[in-house]
A and B are shown apart, each in its own frame.
Chain A
Amino acid sequence: MILVIGNTPQKVELKDLGDYIYYKQQKIFTDAQYNRSQDLQREIQKGSLTILKRADDKSGSFDIPSVGYSSVSADKSPVMDFSKLDTLLERINSLEESINAKSTLSPEAHNDVIKSLIEKVTRLENGISVNNNDPNIAALHDAIKKLEEKIGQGADETVLKKLEDILNRAPVAASSTKQKEEMRPEDVYVPTVTVEDANTHIKLDIRTIGGGDDVNDSLKKLKELKSKS
C-alpha cells in the first residue's frame, strides 16, 4: 500500500486506474493497483507524484494527514492552481445533488458518497491551507457548510468533525468574497497617464437639453429625500 501526493499544479491523470490526483492531494493505492498501473509508476518516476508512505497491504492502513505535512517537492511549487478548486467546487456541488437524492441510494452507495466526501474535504483542507484568502475558498467554504447541513446525522462523526475543523480554521476565507466586493479602486495599481504633451484639435458635440425630469427639480427632490432620511 502506498500513499502518494500530487506534486504539480496540473492534475495527474492515471488512465489505467481511471483516476486523477490533484496538486497536493494525497491518495492511497494498494500494491496490486501500483503493480498493474504503468501510469502510476511512470508519474512517480517523473516526480509528478511522490510516495509519502509505503506499507504492507496486510499490515493495516495509514491515515491521510489532513494538514501540516510538508513535502520538499511540493514546496518547490508554492503556486496554487485555483482552477483545481473550481473543479472541486463543481464536484462538491454534484455531490450535494447526490446527497439530496440520498433517499434513493442504498446504504452502501450512501457510504461511498460519504467516503468520497472525506476525500474532497481533504483536498479542500489542502487548498485552504495554501491560501485561505482566495475568494474561491469562500465559495468552497459555503459549499462545505451547505454539505454539512445536508448530510446532517447521516454522516460519520469523523467527517462532521473534519468539516467543523475546516470551518473553524477558515474565518478569513468566509469573508473573502466580501473583501473582494469591498476592494476599492485605491487598492489597485494603475499607471500614471499624462496627456499634457498631446496637441489636440477636438471638436465636441455641444448642446443644451431640456425635457424629462428637470435637473433642478430632481435635485430639489433628492435633497428633500436626503433631509428626511
Chain B
Amino acid sequence: MCAVGLDIGTCFLVSATQDESGQTQIKSIRDAFIDIEADASTINMLKMSNVSYVHDGNNIVVVGESALNLANLLKRESRRPMSQGVISPGERDAERMLAILLKNILPGPKVENENVFFSVPAKSVDREMDVIYHTAIIKKIIENFNYKVTPLNEAAALVYSNASKEGFTAMASSFGAGSVNTAIVYKTMIGMAFSLARSGDHIDASAARAVGSTATRMMAIKELGVNLLDPTEGDPKQIREREAIIMYYRNLIRYVIENIAKEFKKDNSKIELPESLPWILSGGTTKCKHFLEFFKQEFEKEKSSFPLKVSDIRMASDVLNDVAKGLLIAAMNE
C-alpha cells in the first residue's frame, strides 16, 4: 500500500513509508542549513566528503546535520526553515529550503494520488502563529510533487501509532524543539488540541541566559545526555549547566500540565471521554535520561487538581519517529 507519513518538525523532517515486504522505513534529515561561498575548491571538498549540500545558483547551501557542524566550526548560527512548529516567518529562504528538503525526503509517488499525511501543530494558546499559512504552503509544495496531501495534528498522529490497544483514545503530548503539541483523541476524533510555544529551544535559551552561555552550547550539553534525576551525572565542569537545564525542564513540564488543565476546563463540555485515558509522551525533548520518571514526579504534585483521570503515563515507542509512523497509518487507512 503506497502512502507516506511526513513529520515536519522544527528540528527534523521525518518520513515514514512501507516497503514491499511491509517493513516501515524511516528517512530523516535535520532541517537546518547554512550558506557558504561557492568556489571550485569548496565544491570539490564537499563532493569528496559526506556533507549534504545544495548547489543553488551561485550559492552553496550545506543542509542537515552538516549545517550545524559547519555553523559551530565557523562560529555562525545555522539557519532554520522552521521555527516554533511552523515555517519560520523571519527566514527569507524558508519556503524554498523546506521544498528542497521535502523533495528529497519524499520518495516520489508510486501510484496516482498517493496519500501523504503531514503533521501540523495545533493553534498556539500562548503565541500568535500562522498555522493556516504553514499548512497551506506545505500542502502546496507537496502537491507540486504530485501527491494527494492531508494535514493531521502532530499529537493526534501519536495516538495512531501508540494507542491502538486503547481504541485510538488517548491524550498525547509531543515535546518537539519549538513547541509542545497536545491532543485529546477519542476513537481517532480530536476532542481538544493546542500547542504551547515553549519546548526544547526554550529550555536551551532559558538555561543559557541563566548561566551566561549560548543556546547552542546548552543544546549540545542537553543532547550529550542530562540525567533529569541527577545533575551530578556527567562532566563535573558542566554541573551548573545541567542544573539549569533540569530547572527549565521542570518549568516546562509544569507549564504543560497547567495549560492542559486550563484548556480542558475551557473545552471539556465538547469532549466525550472514557473514565480515564493514557497519556503518551513523545518528541526529541523527551530524550533526556529519566524524562518519564521526572514527568511523573511533577504530575503527582498536580494530580489532585488535574481535571482528567489519567490511567497511565508512558513514552511513545519511538519518540523521534512515532509521529511519522502515526501519519503513515492514517495515510494508509485512507
Contact = CB atoms under 8 A, between A and B. Distances in A.
A-B interaction? yes
Interface of A: 183-188, 190-195, 197-213, 215-219, 221-223, 225-226, 229
B136 A195 contact: no
A195 B27 contact: no
B129 interface: no
Contacts, number: 144
A95 B34 CA distance: 53
Given A201-B53, A209-B321, A212-B316, A225 B104 contact: no
Contact of B165 (A191, A194, A213): A213
A213 B160 CA distance: 9
Given A188-B136, A202-B54, A225-B188, A208 B25 contact: yes
Given A190-B137, A212-B322, 6 more contacts: A190-B133, A198-B100, A205-B28, A212-B316, A217-B164, A221-B165
B29 interface: yes
Given A212-B316, A222-B164, A222-B168, A193 B141 contact: yes
Nearest to A201: B53
Contacts of B103: 195, 200
A197 B318 CA distance: 36
B136 A201 contact: no
Given A185-B151, A191-B95, A218 B160 contact: yes
A199 to B, nearest CB: 4
Interface in B288-334: 316-318, 321-322, 325, 328-330, 332-333
Contact of B333 (A197, A199, A208, A222): A222
B318 A212 contact: yes
B62 to A, nearest CB: 10
Contacts of A184: 132
B98 to A, nearest CB: 8
B218 interface: no
For the complex of A and B, the 6 pairs showing the least CB-CB separation, nearest first, are A212-B317, A185-B136, A199-B55, A218-B164, A188-B136, A221-B164
10 contacts: A193-B140, A200-B103, A201-B52, A202-B54, A202-B104, A208-B26, A209-B321, A213-B165, A216-B22, A222-B168
Given A222-B160, A222-B333, A211 B188 contact: no
A212 B55 contact: no
B24 interface: yes
Interface in B2-60: 16, 18-19, 22-29, 46-47, 50, 52-57
Q: Which of B25, B63, B164, B333 has the most CB of A within 10 A?
A: B164
Chain B's interface size range is: 35 or more
A201 B100 contact: no
Contacts of B29: 202, 204-205
B137 A225 contact: no
Given A206-B25, A206-B26, A218 B329 contact: yes
B287 interface: no
Given A202-B101, A225-B168, A229-B187, A183 B132 contact: yes
B148 interface: no
A189 to B, nearest CB: 8
Chain B's interface: helix, strand, loop or mixed, by majority?
mixed
A185 B140 CA distance: 9
A184 B140 CA distance: 13
B177 interface: no
Interface of B: 16, 18-19, 22-29, 46-47, 50, 52-57, 63-64, 95-96, 99-101, 103-105, 132-133, 135-137, 139-141, 144, 151, 160-165, 167-168, 187-188, 316-318, 321-322, 325, 328-330, 332-333
Contacts of B56: 197-199
A225 B317 CA distance: 22
Contact of A201 (B23, B55, B168): B55
A134 to B, nearest CB: 15
A187 B19 CA distance: 35
Contacts of B321: 209
Contacts of B163: 213
Contacts of A212: 161-162, 316-318, 322, 325
Given A208-B24, A229-B187, A218 B136 contact: no
Nearest to B104: A202
Contact of A226 (B54, B137, B333): B333
Contact of B54 (A183, A199, A203): A199
Given A191-B95, A222-B164, A213 B317 contact: yes
Nearest to B149: A185
A211 B318 contact: yes
Residue of A187, A188, A193, A197 with highest tally of chain B CB at under 10 A: A193
B165 A202 contact: no
A216 to B, nearest CB: 6
Nearest to A218: B164
B151 A209 contact: no
A200 B316 contact: no
A208 B23 contact: yes
A144 B165 CA distance: 46
Given A193-B99, A209-B24, A216-B22, A202 B63 contact: yes
Contacts of B316: 212
